[in-house]
Structure 1
Amino acid sequence: MGDAQIIPLGTRGKPGRGRRQTASSAARSLVDRGGDSAKDAAHAEVRADRADATERRGIPAADLLDAVAGGAREVLGANWERRLAEWVALLRRRLAGDYQVDEFGFDPELTARLGLAIARPLAEKWFRIEVRGAENIPSEDGVLLVANHSGTVPVDAIMTSLVVHDHAARHLRMLAADLVFTLPFVSEVARKGGATLACSEDAERLLRQGELVGVWPEGFKGIGKPYSERYKLQRFGRGGFVSAAMRTGVPIVPCSIVGAEEIYPMVGNVPALARLLGVPYIPITPFFPLLGPLGLVPLPSKWIIEFGEPIRTDAYAQDAADDPMLVFNVTDQVRETIQQTLYNLLVERRAVFF
């Protein structure tokens, strides 16, 4: 007994055969003829279990629809179905060419429904713009609105256009620099948004048509000035905007904007690169170009936009626009009005970002 050889069961005396993965012929012979049906049933059960598991891992259709509806309510408001239908109708009409633009390329429908709609959350949530004196904007006829310019990037023009539309129910026809109309895509967007070339001829034509025209006389000197000179108005040019107002007899509404100076604090410039690219300046801010594209996000400064009382020009003689001294005096009056208002607003402002 002590010398007996131990043979593992089921291996027929051959080591390692007990690890085979398939059944032996003897085992297979024990399965009856109905085994194929049992195997098919087992496979079907496995497939059903896998389908159930896949369905459990996915999002039910009802939950997905609820999520989409919730997102639509968050973005479009409680009446999101009606607004979505309006957007679809708008898209259908525009694809069919059923819309109008004026002789300057202005598209009021696209501006109100898309352009200003995109800018509105930025004005309300990011800059938290406080509007004062909107009642000083005449509700009809030609008006010339004159504002200070700042911010490195002309965001203040877009915000002013939005404020005028929402508080005075009028479109602001902006007079833009030549550079705007030489840039691809930007030129088309500017035209669609109501901008036109900053020249006396276009300004006078719009004013005679009863439009509200906006001008920023500081130009690139205003938006491109260093942060150390913030809220110090630059030269207002030769007073061409005053001449246009006098020739058409429209009032001038001074507009003072506080808050735009801080969105991109300009601490430096790269003039050599600017000349190479054909632009007025290449700004350096505390975050650009150091942080790359992230540095292009404007800082959330608190804005105040105040519209002053209109300055009448219809009392002047017909040839008043040809008197350089008179034009200079009126220009200086508008400039000083805006400058003093800026100082007063800065005194009232408690903090830049709150």
Structure 2
Amino acid sequence: MSVPDEDARVIPISAAPSYTDEPEPLAKLLAFLRRRVSGDYDVDEFGYDAELTDKVVLELIRPLYHHWFRVETAELNNIPEEGGALVVANHSGTLPVDALMLQVALHDEAGRALRLLGADLVYQLPLLSHLSRKTGHTLACREDADRLLRKGELVGVFPEGFKGVGKPFSQRYKLQRFGRGGFVASAIRAGAPIVPTAIVGAEEIYPKLGDLKFLARLLGLPYLPITPFFPLLGPLGLVPLPSKWMIEFGEPIRTDHYEPSAADDPMLVFNLTDHVREVIQQLLNELRLRRGPAFPPFL
């Protein structure tokens, strides 16, 4: 009978590696699927599904953010760590890809979910309407904006609307009209700061050279663009060009020193709206110079 070597190590059965355990990523995936199937997940009163947004939707577009557009952010310290605030940004790019990139930037780098206010058209399309609600977007109306800000949410708005996202390439980085300033009135009523935001890079992803107006009207769209590659290359023309992106968050503009009733003063609202527009335009001009070429060599 042999005697065990004194130096031999005895590994307890409980400490031995198990080859039946599920790999961690697979276990997380299965747990996620079980929650979705059983309905064991939360949505808020607007239909926002935080888990679906982070684990599925943003995960799908993060490669665009990091590797295709190589987005850089600046002055994230101007985003409040908590409490309601209104992020006001320029809009461009023919398709609203800038909204998605802004959402990733604030979620991943500032740790805050962005609740975007969308145009009526978004909520007239059944599938897009449902997905928008799930990812935290809601209709760009006074009631929804006020409720979100009073709940302490970070709300995003693009006051240029379709005028900005659909403008021709020759007018790139020139802000369009900001409308009636409804976003400013909502910020005043909630006493929430306004964060002017500049996005450089989206203008070059689909350079709009023309517009198929007759077909756009037929399809009920605000425009149907002609770009260097669409419709010439068909579906391939929908691949965005890999322009270099930069997003800068300006110094917050306070509104808490106004009484909520000041939101009903049209002249005050107009002047503050115009001021926000001027700040964003200045940020755009400076950021565009810092960015340099839209298509720098890949390293």
- When normalised by structure 1's length, the TM-score is 0.77
1:1-354 equivalences in 2 (<5 Å): 81-354=23-296
> Aligned partners of 1:184 and 1:265: how far apart in 2?
28
4+ residue segments displaced more than 6 Å: none
Letter in 1 for 2:147: R
Letter in 2 for 1:283: P
Whether contact under 8 Å (2:185, 2:264) holds in the other structure is yes
> Aligned partners of 1:161 and 1:312: how far apart in 2?
22
Q: CA deviation at 1:277?
A: 1.0
Letter in 2 for 1:158: L
Whether contact under 8 Å (2:197, 2:250) holds in the other structure is yes
Q: CA deviation at 1:349?
A: 2.2
Q: Which residue of 1 aligns with 2:5?
A: none
Unaligned ranges ≥5, structure 1: 1-79
> Aligned partners of 2:63 and 2:23: how far apart in 1?
21
Q: CA deviation at 1:317?
A: 2.4
- Percent identical among aligned pairs is 66
> Aligned partners of 1:81 and 1:124: how far apart in 2?
26
Instruction: Pick 1 or 2: higher relative contact order, CA cutoff 8 A, min separation 6.
Output: 2
> Aligned partners of 1:112 and 1:263: how far apart in 2?
25
Letter in 1 for 2:261: D
Q: Let me know the Cα RMSD of the aligned residues.
A: 1.0
> Aligned partners of 1:171 and 1:282: how far apart in 2?
31
Q: Which 10-residue stretch deviates more, 310-319 or 231-240?
A: 310-319
Whether contact under 8 Å (2:201, 2:294) holds in the other structure is yes
> Aligned partners of 1:154 and 1:202: how far apart in 2?
21
Q: CA deviation at 1:184?
A: 2.6
Q: CA deviation at 1:183?
A: 1.1
Higher helix share goes to which structure? 1
Q: Does the residue aligned with 2:126 lie in a helix, a strand or coil?
A: coil
Structure with larger Rg? 1
> Aligned partners of 1:103 and 1:203: how far apart in 2?
13
Unaligned ranges ≥5, structure 2: 1-21
> Aligned partners of 1:212 and 1:318: how far apart in 2?
19
Letter in 1 for 2:89: A
**Per-residue CA distance 1:312-340 (angstroms, 9 max, x = gap):** 00001232111111101110111001000
> Aligned partners of 2:23 and 2:276: how far apart in 1?
48
> Aligned partners of 1:308 and 1:223: how far apart in 2?
21
Aligned length: 275
Letter in 2 for 1:177: A
